[in-house]
A and B are shown apart, each in its own frame.
Chain A
Amino acid sequence: MTANMDTTSNTSGEPTIDPAAGPLPDASTAAVTGGFRASATARLARGGLISGAVLGVLVLFLLVIAVLPQLIAPGDPTASVAGAFTAPSGEHWFGTDDLGRDVLTRVVWGAHPILLASVLGIAIATVIGVLLGLLGGMTRGLASGLVMRILDVMLALPALLIALMVVAIAGNGVTSIVIAVGVAYIPAFARVVYGSVQRLRTADYVAAARLFGASRSRTVVRHLVPNLATEIAVVASSALGWAVLTAATLSFLGFGVNLPNPDWGVDLASGGQYLQTAWWISTFPGLAVTATILLSNYLGDYVSAILDPRRTVRVRRPWQLG
């Protein structure tokens, strides 16, 4: 599950015994843990070169499916190509559904809505969440107070409930699922950014920059942003898996694409009605969602391993499921 954990363990000869009781790693420790700005190859190696390559190929494959499904499955996902409920065979690897449509073709074409919703949704959540977090963390007074109150309330509502609310407001369709996922994950990002800004604001090196006459905006650009960027990348990549699940849940509940268009969630739900006669209709979209979430999780772990070798054993922020 974890890409490469032993790089983070700190097993220098002695535990901290510095005179001032500060956990200041000595030279040997630093040499062991390796820097997070070692060469690019070293950084990739930290995540595992081979797993990185495999991961890259898989992600690329998924992107191709999402953007150009016709390359993999040239058929029309809405066309009836055989009798209903044909079991998986050499001709129809994943079988056919209740209307005689090829399940494989539908699974390939069905990737688009959920991947779009989760990737775009996380992008929206990142941008707005980071802005809100910065606003709350960097400013004082009314703006900051208002932002924090809004976040408090958003955090008091479960992510899936927020998503459902957005769907209730914006109506059905892929666009509203994108927005729903985006809004639902805003508080997670805002909270992480807010916390980091609070911590970084009091960091000695930020104080040092002030002493050299750095303005607030300059400090933000030179010191806060690079340090935040890593953290945001880690959160974003690990939130992706949850976003896939949220998007799939919404479309499973019928708020996504309109029939007869293919979509993993919708097909899962409709296949659920034929469990007794044709298990394959729901099983393959289910597998597709599972594989996507797995891949997102590995990607998240890999990104954290590359960007932040000093992280502790907590691999993923276990915050929302749903």
Chain B
Amino acid sequence: MTLLAVRDLRTQIRRGRDVVTPVDGISFDIAPGETVGLVGESGSGKTMTGMSIMRLLPGAGRIAAGSVRLADRDLASLGSRDMRQARGRDVAMVFQDPMTSLNPTITIGRQITEAVRLHRNVTSAGARERALEVLRLVGMPQPEQRLDSYPHELSGGQRQRVMIALALACEPKLLIADEPTTALDVTIQAQILELLQELRDRLGMGVLLITHDLGVIAGQADRVLVMYAGRIVESAPTEELFARPRHPYTEALLGAIPRLDQQRHEELRSIPGLPPDLAHPPAGCRFAPRCSFATDRCRTEDPVLTDDPDHAYACFHPRPVQRSAARTAPVTAEAADEIADGDTLLELTDVHKEFPIGGGFLRRRTTSLKAVSGISLTVAAGETFALVGESGCGKSTTGRLIVGLDEPTQGTVSFAGQSTGSRRPGGRMRPRDMQLVFQDPSASLDPRMKVSASLAEPLVLQHIGDRRERAARVGEMLDQVGLSRTSLDRYPHEFSGGQRQRIGLARALMLRPRLVVADEPVSALDVSVQSQVLNLMRSLQRAMGLTYVVISHDLSVVKYLADRIGVMYLGKLVELGAADGIYRQPAHPYTAGLLDAIPEPDPVRERAKERKPIAGELPSAIDPPSGCHFRTRCPFAQDRCAVEEPLLRPISGNQFAACHFPLRTPEPVA
């Protein structure tokens, strides 16, 4: 039985003089109770597919051809009045960003009751009753009070629950979830995904899950559609697709994701180039310009999706059916597996950072936000140390403290044995030794400076070389980060996100620093580009003997880069040690929960997981819980945890955890 049947759907958007076709003749089905994953990178047309089904295209867009049959009606040709009634009642949608998707000036209750009253003939009391019911359904804590709350009073996870409640208020047959967890932290993501799955089973809905995250797909979807440049290039049941990808794009995509089960020092696959401009798509296969298997036929003739309902693909040269995919990546030659035990380069001793807040002129007692509260760690020369944690754990602040953009409220940061505080004679920090790579490369480059000027700026400021020498060094650096020299005369906005991050890296390396702090260096990038940058970071480290401090929320990225990691929770280090050990056997319940929550791009493992996601949400850093900060969400918490603050103590060898009841029995120190 089919719930939704999309046939030859083509959507067009006018863009100035051009007509863009973000969705170009796609067909697929969804059965009741089935989750179909639609995966693709930015610009692949996956969001526009969802918006086409909902008929919520932007003003300049229209459905040019094809049909969208939901149950027995064609949504594509429905009158606007009927379509309006179908929205919310037959098909509903959950959007990516819960922070902006709710009306900020209307209470949660009224936003839900509006949806109910639009489609059901109920009294306002009845609608309120229904709103309460769906809020309970989505597991909202204290639903009665929440009805009268405004969106800004809720956390991101709670808001996404409200969005889901809103979508389900009238029990639609089809739910379109567009990146429903992308804006959320990994523990909250796990909660929301579990909720979606449970609701699907309970209500028997069909779900179209749109995402860029193959890990989410692996755990949630029954079938997967891979989209590239407006086309579906491969379609198969989830396990089949992950085990035997046939399209080179799918294969490359799978190879590009850093995995938790990956051997370290294995290079990631990366896909060269960028997706095509959909106003002028290439003739022939749209992936051909980036495909390493492309032949002349691919460049002239357009492959069609094969007819096989179990595994369809659009390629003239499908990859052979072996479980080859991600594992064929070359292993780099020098796989020095032991942890670099160079001299200590960076040392943080009991570092605190508080930001005063409030403090009106009548309030004597100002409160403060404890962003970092007592962190001590060392980083050895030549190693990669990673700070991981969810948003609000203080990892970025720690990064800024390390490079000296902020001053610690208490404690010291020392570099190569010398304190870096501004009270040091000389005033400013030593720019040559430490640099920061920013998360958002478009914000960290002055939009009005050409690349050549941006890259030369550090040299100019440090009075290094004359004009010609600087130009030479800038050129060399561009070669090293893999950008052509024609980039010099261009402005930052003329580059793609990945290219901009290369420029950011190049600039940070201009002064040949010894330590580079990279704050979420790839989180703004698509998977295929992310792997390019990660590989580059590794090769630069080898070439220049760099020490990295990588700050990331993404444990898979960290696994790929780091020798040692520190896990942060609410301003404190809860676990510290060698990456391999921590990933194999985490000692702190938070680390374990975090690892458990990561969706892995492996359907077999994902389904085998006995999930027990970390419950609840991050407490406020203004008034953190007493004792162990994590105790409010910890499944093993006992009375002692509320009274006594656990200190970081050795668990085994070089693994440390701050927990009274660690998951590993501490070995006696030799």
List residues of A whose CB falls within 8 A of some B CB. 6, 11-15, 17-22, 24-28, 30-33, 35-37, 203-205, 207-214, 218, 222-223, 226-227
- Complex CA distance for A210 and B427, rounded to whole angstroms: 12
- Complex CA distance for A213 and B524, rounded to whole angstroms: 27
Considering only CB atoms, which chain B residue lies closest to A7 in the complex?
Answer: B16
Give chain A nearest CB distance to B38 CB in angstroms.
Answer: 11
Cβ contacts A to B, 29 pairs, < 8 Å: A11-B14, A13-B22, A14-B44, A14-B45, A17-B182, A18-B524, A19-B525, A19-B526, A19-B527, A20-B520, A21-B97, A26-B43, A27-B496, A30-B496, A31-B494, A32-B16, A35-B494, A36-B447, A204-B440, A205-B445, A207-B405, A207-B438, A207-B444, A210-B405, A211-B403, A212-B457, A214-B457, A223-B446, A226-B448
Cβ contact within 8 Å between B435 and A17: no
Select which of A18, A207, A227 is within 8 A of B448 by beta carbon.
A227
Give chain B nearest CB distance to A51 CB in angstroms.
Answer: 19
Whether B277 sits at the interface, judged by CB under 8 Å, is yes
Which 5 pairs between the two chains have the least Cβ-Cβ distance?
A204-B444, A213-B431, A27-B496, A212-B458, A13-B22
Cβ contact within 8 Å between B491 and A208: no
Known: A11-B13, A30-B494, A204-B443. A17 touches B47 (CB 8 A): yes
Select which of A6, A14, A222 is within 8 A of B42 by beta carbon.
A14
Q: Which residues of B contact A212 (CB under 8 A)?
A: 431, 457-458, 461-462, 511
Cβ contact within 8 Å between B42 and A17: yes
Q: Which residues of B contact A210 (CB under 8 A)?
A: 405
Whether B363 sits at the interface, judged by CB under 8 Å, is no
- Complex CA distance for A15 and B20, rounded to whole angstroms: 13
Known: A17-B179, A208-B507, A213-B462. A24 touches B96 (CB 8 A): no
Known: A30-B495, A207-B405, A212-B457. A13 touches B524 (CB 8 A): no
Give chain A nearest CB distance to B522 CB in angstroms.
Answer: 9
Considering only CB atoms, which chain B residue lies closest to A214 in the complex?
Answer: B461
Whether B58 sits at the interface, judged by CB under 8 Å, is yes
Q: Which residues of A contact B440 (CB under 8 A)?
A: 22, 24, 204
Per-residue interface assignment for chain B, residues 633 to 658, with 1 indicating a CB less than 8 Å from any chain A CB and 0 otherwise:
00000000000000000000000000
- Complex CA distance for A176 and B556, rounded to whole angstroms: 69
- Complex CA distance for A92 and B235, rounded to whole angstroms: 83
Cβ contact within 8 Å between A14 and B47: yes
- Complex CA distance for A21 and B178, rounded to whole angstroms: 12
Q: Which residues of B contact A213 (CB under 8 A)?
A: 428-429, 431, 458, 461-462
Known: A28-B277, A204-B443, A205-B444. A18 touches B42 (CB 8 A): yes
Give chain B nearest CB distance to A308 CB in angstroms.
Answer: 11
Considering only CB atoms, which chain B residue lies closest to A33 in the complex?
Answer: B493
**Count of chain B residues with a beta carbon within 8 Å of a chain A beta carbon:** 67
Q: Which residues of B contact A32 (CB under 8 A)?
A: 15-16
Cβ contact within 8 Å between A222 and B457: yes
- Complex CA distance for A209 and B405, rounded to whole angstroms: 11
Give chain A nearest CB distance to B176 CB in angstroms.
Answer: 14
- Complex CA distance for A222 and B450, rounded to whole angstroms: 13
Q: Which residues of B contact A18 (CB under 8 A)?
A: 42, 497, 524-526
Known: A35-B493, A222-B457. A208 touches B520 (CB 8 A): no
Cβ contact within 8 Å between B507 and A14: no
Q: Which residues of A contact B524 (CB under 8 A)?
A: 18-20, 22, 24
Q: Which residues of A contact B405 (CB under 8 A)?
A: 207, 210-211
Please report which residues of chain B, range 28-69, place their CB below 8 angstroms from some CB of chain A when the two chains form the complex.
42-48, 58, 60
Cβ contact within 8 Å between A11 and B58: yes
Q: Which residues of A contact B600 (CB under 8 A)?
A: none
Whether B378 sits at the interface, judged by CB under 8 Å, is no
Whether B561 sits at the interface, judged by CB under 8 Å, is no
Please report which residues of chain B, range 436-456, place their CB below 8 angstroms from some CB of chain A when the two chains form the complex.
436, 438-440, 442-448, 450
Cβ contact within 8 Å between B442 and A24: yes
Select which of A19, A211, A222 is within 8 A of B436 by beta carbon.
A211
Whether B213 sits at the interface, judged by CB under 8 Å, is yes
Per-residue interface assignment for chain B, residues 491 to 503, with 1 indicating a CB less than 8 Å from any chain A CB and 0 otherwise:
1011111010000
- Complex CA distance for A210 and B60, rounded to whole angstroms: 44
Whether B274 sits at the interface, judged by CB under 8 Å, is yes
Cβ contact within 8 Å between B438 and A24: no
Cβ contact within 8 Å between A14 and B22: yes
Q: Which residues of A contact B43 (CB under 8 A)?
A: 12-14, 26, 28
- Complex CA distance for A35 and B447, rounded to whole angstroms: 9
Considering only CB atoms, which chain A residue lies closest to B20 in the complex?
Answer: A13
Give chain B nearest CB distance to A153 CB in angstroms.
Answer: 17
Select which of B182, B443, B444 is within 8 A of A21 by beta carbon.
B182
Whether B278 sits at the interface, judged by CB under 8 Å, is yes
Q: Which residues of B contact A37 (CB under 8 A)?
A: 448, 450, 491
Give chain A nearest CB distance to B393 CB in angstroms.
Answer: 16
Cβ contact within 8 Å between A17 and B497: no
- Complex CA distance for A142 and B526, rounded to whole angstroms: 47
Cβ contact within 8 Å between A17 and B212: yes
Q: Which residues of B contact A222 (CB under 8 A)?
A: 446, 457
Interface centre among B16, B440, B443, B520 (most CB of A within 10 A): B443
- Complex CA distance for A222 and B436, rounded to whole angstroms: 20
Give chain A nearest CB distance to B28 CB in angstroms.
Answer: 18
Whether B523 sits at the interface, judged by CB under 8 Å, is yes
- Complex CA distance for A11 and B434, rounded to whole angstroms: 40
Cβ contact within 8 Å between A14 and B461: no
Per-residue interface assignment for chain B, residues 1 to 40, with 1 indicating a CB less than 8 Å from any chain A CB and 0 otherwise:
0000000000001111000101000000000000000000
Q: Which residues of B contact A207 (CB under 8 A)?
A: 405, 436, 438, 444
Cβ contact within 8 Å between B497 and A26: yes
Cβ contact within 8 Å between B96 and A21: yes
Whether B483 sits at the interface, judged by CB under 8 Å, is no
- Complex CA distance for A143 and B523, rounded to whole angstroms: 41
Interface centre among B42, B435, B530 (most CB of A within 10 A): B42
- Complex CA distance for A11 and B48, rounded to whole angstroms: 12
Known: A18-B524, A35-B494. A208 touches B97 (CB 8 A): no
Whether B243 sits at the interface, judged by CB under 8 Å, is no
Considering only CB atoms, which chain B residue lies closest to A22 in the complex?
Answer: B524
- Complex CA distance for A109 and B520, rounded to whole angstroms: 64
Known: A212-B511, A213-B431. A19 touches B212 (CB 8 A): yes
Q: Which residues of A contact B436 (CB under 8 A)?
A: 207-208, 211
Give chain A nearest CB distance to B23 CB in angstroms.
Answer: 9
Cβ contact within 8 Å between B97 and A35: no
Per-residue interface assignment for chain B, residues 507 to 527, with 1 indicating a CB less than 8 Å from any chain A CB and 0 otherwise:
100010000000010011111
Known: A12-B43, A35-B493, A35-B494. A20 touches B60 (CB 8 A): no
Q: Which residues of B contact A27 (CB under 8 A)?
A: 274, 495-496, 499
Q: Which residues of B contact A31 (CB under 8 A)?
A: 277, 494
- Complex CA distance for A122 and B447, rounded to whole angstroms: 28
Considering only CB atoms, which chain A residue lies closest to B444 in the complex?
Answer: A204
Q: Which residues of A contact B15 (CB under 8 A)?
A: 11-12, 32
Give chain A nearest CB distance to B524 CB in angstroms.
Answer: 5
Cβ contact within 8 Å between B496 and A26: yes
Give chain B nearest CB distance to A4 CB in angstroms.
Answer: 11
Known: A13-B22, A21-B96, A227-B448. A209 touches B45 (CB 8 A): no
Q: Which residues of B contact A227 (CB under 8 A)?
A: 446-448
Cβ contact within 8 Å between B523 and A20: yes
Q: Which residues of A contact B429 (CB under 8 A)?
A: 211, 213
Cβ contact within 8 Å between A205 and B446: yes
Q: Which residues of B contact A13 (CB under 8 A)?
A: 13, 20, 22, 43, 45, 48, 230, 278
Interface centre among B429, B448, B511 (most CB of A within 10 A): B448
- Complex CA distance for A14 and B230, rounded to whole angstroms: 11
